[in-house]
Structure 1
Amino acid sequence: MRNYIQPGDTVTVTAPYDVASGAGCLVGTLFGIAAYSAKSGEEVEIKTSGVYEHAKTSAQAWATVGLAIYWDNTNKVFTTTATDNTLVAKNLAVAANPSATGVVRLNG
């Protein structure tokens, strides 16, 4: 196929803010987990698929598996709150309230 470019599970983007390795990175509505640290304006590779343990809104209980998970770009955490956030994942594990992290599968 002559128009194929790449698998797309890792893509290079311009970091919209300073991002640490393993942190979430939202560029427009494209979301991924940074493969390495980068300063704002530098190129960074992000993984757009896969399963990750990452910071979540601590005061939320994720009571069942398969919830819609959003990225809170202000606080740089996953959340179940849709308002003003971007849909990016589903959760793969129950998480208590309070808990600092959750397990998510990125929508890719």
Structure 2
Amino acid sequence: MKNFLSHGEAVTLPAPADLVSGAGVLVGTIFGVAQADAASGAPVVLVRRGLFTLPKTAAQAWTPGAKVYWDGAQCTTVASGNTLIGAAAAAAANPSETGTVLLDGTIR
């Protein structure tokens, strides 16, 4: 197949802002985790699939399998106005600063 480029689990896109390695980022409708630090506008590899520890709304308790959304700065279980990015892969207490999220690479 001459037109195959990659599996798409990691994609290189322009960073929409200054990023640090491990930061969640939404570029249009593509969500991923920055593989390395990047300055705004510079190319950054975003990993789109896998299990990640990501920042979450501290005052939420998560159950495994709960839908997880990105609010522009952290993960939340609130759907309204946010982008679905994956599912909770483990319970997370209220309060807690991080949660385990399964990213499936789906564009929403």
Quote the residue 1:71 is aligned against: 70
| Identical columns (%) | 50
Q: TM-score, normalised by structure 1?
A: 0.94
What's the offset of the Cα at 1:18? Answer: 1.1
Quote the residue 2:98 is aligned against: 101
Task: List, as ranges, runs of 4+ consecutive aligned residues in structure 1 with deviation greater than 3 Å.
Answer: none
- In 2, the alpha carbon distance for the partners of 1:78 and 1:89 equals 10
Q: Structure 2 counterpart of 1:33, which letter? A: V
Q: TM-score, normalised by structure 2?
A: 0.94
- In 2, the alpha carbon distance for the partners of 1:99 and 1:107 equals 23
- In 1, the alpha carbon distance for the partners of 2:82 and 2:25 equals 13
The 5 A counterparts of 1:45-64 are 45-62=45-62, 64=63
Quote the residue 1:33 is aligned against: 33
RMSD, aligned α-carbons: 0.8
Give ranges in structure 1 of 5+ residues lacking alignment. none
What's the offset of the Cα at 1:2? Answer: 2.1
Give ranges in structure 2 of 5+ residues lacking alignment. none
Q: Deviations over 1:59-87 (max 9, x none)?
A: 1111x2111100110xx111101111100
What's the offset of the Cα at 1:25? Answer: 1.0
Q: Aligned pair count?
A: 105
Quote the residue 1:85 is aligned against: 82
SS, match of residue 50 in structure 1 = strand
- In 1, the alpha carbon distance for the partners of 2:55 and 2:30 equals 19
